[in-house]
Chains A and B, each alone.
Chain A
């Protein structure tokens, strides 16, 4: 044992490990920083997990437009433990986005972004967007038909940037179309470019924790005054500060470990998302939709008024970045306690409900035509031949993709199971011929007899 201690002492003396890291590990932190402080470190643990499992995946993955899909099939179905490895990377991404969001909400509710921690907020906002960028480029690397169409969707969004949009889209895709360079480019974005920026800002974000100290738990009627705060904070630390390790850090370690164990458990039980079709842009019978954390944005695209949408796709993200970055400049002093900032809490609740509703709608996608709906006319044929003809037309003309009847059909338009009770023949034929704000005008596509049959069919729905 003495010999080992001697060896360690020699290493420590010549390398300066203890001298460099002990002050960081033992630095005093405010007492009472308890469970609400674990979400930032949980995000960091998820990031480390992503780096490690990402390296594992890169050993098996073929980053080329031609072969990426086959190599993912190999990773998922053949490579030993490959399914679990992919699963951890998937749930790790979900965890990272989730905890980054919770961490941000915690920081906002306790106003930890106020003096002198403005830079922590700013770097945190950039980290959030980089994390979302990682999530998007990552799910695209599956390079199934979902991945291919996601890259087109990304290019279309780039296209909305004024003046240079077309060129940005071309740089993003690596050409005019999806092709040999597209996947290599997204691989480079996901594995080199965004992680490099992520590491720089994570390093900066952590450095700031040591420079400015973690924010003390807020108390009502103890406002932040930039003139006196730093001195007050240092005096408070001298008076009642506790060493970061282990007094505060054990919660981070415990929570972070539990998070990682849960992620691995989810990966073993549920596995990664199944791959969809081949990455062939000429296969169009596909239903592209992103992973859950992108669904709120996906929903927003469907629900926004079309007239303003092209503007919003560009201006929306720009305004949200500017808004978030300007927060610590708008209010960097004063009360921090949520008890004294009820509107801040109300705002957070509104945002959470808004994003949650968009996520729920995204899972249901009520705006999409239901291509797989089963024909109602075949299940319960009508005796009257005209009505039966109308029922067949109702299916064949695509009405049923958007309108539900007797429990079958899409939910984009109103349910028509009992439309005959309230609408007369004239109302029905006018609506069918002229369409509506969100319904095609069928006037040019139906003969008089067809129209009559459809109207009679709908009239019979009582």
Chain B
């Protein structure tokens, strides 16, 4: 059987081919959109950064730094232990408090405050920071990130924030 003898004409064949491919693509795209919605959900969601109570100002002497634990910005009932995050809260002078993110700016590992040495040290790759969060040694490209912090009626509050992500320019 020669091509021109097939039961459907060339124009009709072209149309049916385009119809099959077009409709198939439409179905595929339509099904993909909600899947992509799930993938990009973290970017589409509304962000609310609440203030959390983390302790009493009276419990801190000037120069003290303590690890405070609080609920992160986006705690869900199914988050379990991952609903929490931590910050290093230091009474700098008078009523000024500084809340440092516990994440090293190098690759995000948790830094520890060494009270006697007055240094923050990172266990992963040996990053060290001074008490004001500036880099003292090691690979970190910039100072420790700070949370917003305020004192209300003697209660210290920290404003939740995203995990600090260091970008390529740092």
Residues of A within 8 A of B (CB): 64-67, 69, 148-149, 152-153, 155-162, 165-167, 169-171, 173-183, 278-289, 298, 301-302, 304, 306, 309-311, 313-314, 367-369, 371, 396-398, 401-402, 412, 435, 437-441, 444-445
Contact = CB atoms under 8 A, between A and B. Distances in A.
A47 to B, nearest CB: 26
Interface string B130-170: 11000011111100000000000000000001110111111
26 contacts: A65-B78, A65-B79, A69-B81, A148-B82, A152-B107, A160-B167, A160-B168, A166-B165, A169-B165, A176-B47, A178-B72, A280-B81, A281-B81, A284-B67, A286-B110, A298-B124, A302-B124, A302-B125, A371-B112, A396-B116, A397-B117, A398-B117, A398-B121, A437-B137, A438-B126, A445-B117
A contacts with B: majority SS:
loop
B111 interface: yes
A134 B45 CA distance: 28
Contacts, number: 217
Contacts of B165: 155-156, 158-159, 165-166, 169
Contact of B86 (A149, A281, A306, A439): A281
B contacts with A: majority SS:
loop
Contact of B82 (A166, A281, A435): A281
A187 to B, nearest CB: 13
Nearest to A305: B139
Given A281-B82, A311-B168, A371 B123 contact: yes
Given A64-B80, A302-B125, A369-B123, A175 B112 contact: no
Interface string B82-123: 111110000000000000001100111111101011110101
The 8 closest A-B pairs by CB, nearest first: A66-B80, A440-B136, A398-B117, A176-B162, A284-B110, A282-B86, A159-B165, A152-B108
B139 A302 contact: yes
Contacts of B126: 302, 367-369, 402, 412, 438
B80 A67 contact: yes
B166 A159 contact: yes
Contact of A176 (B67, B73, B76): B73
Interface size class of B (residues with CB under 8 A): 35 or more
Contacts of A298: 124-125
A180 B42 CA distance: 12
Given A302-B125, A310-B170, A368-B125, A180 B139 contact: no
A310 B107 contact: no
B43 A170 contact: yes
B125 to A, nearest CB: 4
Interface string B3-47: 000000000000000000000000000000000000111110101
Nearest to B40: A171
Given A148-B82, A281-B86, A445-B118, A439 B137 contact: yes
B167 to A, nearest CB: 5
Interface in B42-76: 42-43, 45, 47, 67, 69, 72-76
Contacts of B128: 369, 440
